[in-house]
């Protein structure tokens, strides 16, 4: 197992530690290496190895070598007085705030309990298009400028049940387009629109907005790809747990905000509660979609 990606996290933690007081009462058994006048302890090593279950001796040595390299860089940074540069001070302070905020969130919000089987079964039953009646979809897509899509075009497309008919409508309206073939699984489609996709017949069209473009998806074919209740249970549990965690977090943060005195001296834009809720919902939906990836 390669543990190099862990070094960045350790760099932040060690840099913060280096800015504080040093413990001169370490026992010899705690010290793993000495780098000039500084010591690397077993606690520093264990902090990293906590993220590497059942680490082998070679991996432990690799992490220790990385900690030595890290300490050398920290000492060089101190020698160059980099720890006094405004951008470095700000980065250290920001990392410290993030660590403290995350720790407080874990303590205040806590972890939600595991969803019971009744909740899992209910979610499975309410989302057949994602599970029991899941499909893979084949589309012919037409990408046009968003400004070109209007009620008149939508009405004209109602009778266009083939790609050739869609092209004829777009050509008649002098609308430029790009066309392609696309395959999508149920979880790759927007979850709020999944029922609508599931009800499509071959030749039907659904328009989706993507930035400054509108994508017309004309259904070409579907293949049944159901997911059984037992297979779906782990991903549903993750979804429900994530959803509950987000709900609890929103409630706890609302309580903290209500109890605090907050005064904005300058605001750049409003952040409507509905928009935040939509973002939270999207994040929760992603947990289900991630679990379904790779299923055929």
Query: How confident is the model over 205-262, as pLDDT tens digits?
Result: 999 999 999 999 999 999 999 999 999 999 999 999 988 888 888 999 999 999 999 9
Q: Is the pLDDT score of 64 beyond 70?
A: yes
Q: From 150, 209, 167, 191, select the one nearest 281 (Cα to Cα).
A: 191
Residue 105 pLDDT greater than 90, yes or no = no
Band (pLDDT 50/70/90 cuts) for residue 112 is confident
The Cα angle at residue 58 between residues 57 and 59, in degrees rounded to 5: 90
Taking each helix axis as running N to C, give the angle between helix 229-259 and helix 117-126, from 0 to 180 degrees, rounded to the nearest 10: 100
Q: CB within 8 A of 182, min separation 6: which ones?
A: 138, 139, 140, 141, 217
pLDDT of residue 234: 93
Sheet holding 205-210, edge to edge: 178-185, 135-145, 213-224, 205-210
Give the model confidence (pLDDT) of 175-213 as tens digits: 999 999 999 999 999 988 999 999 999 999 999 999 999
pLDDT of residue 110: 78
The mean pLDDT value for 146-164 works out to 94
Q: How far apart are CA 41 and CA 48, in angstroms?
A: 12
Residue 38 has pLDDT above 60, yes or no: yes
Report d(CA 52, CA 10) in Å as an integer: 13
- pTM of structure: 0.61
pLDDT at residue 16, rounded to an integer? 42
pLDDT at position 269 is: 82
Residue 219 contacts residue 182 (beta carbons within 8 Å): no
Give the CA angle between residues 113, 239, 275 to the nearest 5°. Answer: 110
Helices and strands in the chain, H and E counts: 10, 6
- State the pLDDT at residue 292: 62
pLDDT value of position 129: 94
| pLDDT the model gives residue 118 | 95
- Distance in angstroms (rounded) separating the CA atoms of residues 189 and 294: 15
For the chain, the farthest-separated pair of C-alpha atoms sits apart, in whole angstroms, at 84
Judge contact between 133 and 226, C-beta under 8 A.
yes
Tokens at residue 78, please? 């101190």
Q: Is the pLDDT of residue 3 over 70?
A: no
């Amino acid at each position: 197992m390669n543990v190099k990606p862990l070094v960045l996290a350790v760099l932040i933690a060690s840099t913060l530690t280096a800015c504080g007081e040093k413990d001169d009462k370490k026992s010899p058994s705690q010290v793993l290496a000495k780098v000039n006048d500084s010591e690397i302890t077993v606690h520093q090593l264990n902090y990293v190895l906590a993220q590497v279950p059942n680490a082998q001796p070679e991996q432990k040595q690799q992490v220790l070598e990385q900690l030595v390299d890290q300490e050398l860089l920290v000492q060089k940074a101190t020698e160059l007085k980099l720890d006094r540069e405004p951008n470095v001070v700000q980065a250290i302070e920001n990392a410290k705030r993030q660590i403290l905020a995350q720790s407080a969130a874990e303590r205040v919000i806590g972890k939600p309990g595991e969803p019971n089987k009744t909740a899992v079964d209910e979610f499975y039953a309410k989302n057949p298009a994602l599970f029991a009646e899941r499909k893979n979809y084949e589309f012919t897509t037409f990408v046009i400028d968003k400004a070109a899509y209007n009620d008149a075009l939508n009405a004209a497309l109602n009778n266009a049940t083939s790609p050739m008919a869609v092209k004829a409508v777009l050509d008649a309206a002098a609308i430029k387009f790009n066309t392609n073939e696309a395959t999508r699984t149920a979880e790759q489609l927007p979850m709020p629109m999944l029922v609508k996709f599931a009800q499509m017949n071959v030749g039907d069209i659904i328009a989706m907005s993507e930035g400054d473009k509108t994508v017309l998806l004309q259904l070409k074919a579907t293949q049944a790809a159901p997911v059984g209740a037992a297979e779906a249970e782990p991903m549903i549990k993750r979804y429900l747990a994530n959803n509950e965690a987000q709900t609890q977090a929103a409630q706890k943060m609302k309580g903290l905000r209500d109890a605090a005195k907050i005064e904005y001296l300058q605001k750049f834009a409003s952040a409507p509660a509905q928009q935040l809720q939509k973002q939270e919902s999207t994040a929760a939906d992603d947990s289900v979609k991630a679990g379904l990836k790779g299923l055929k």
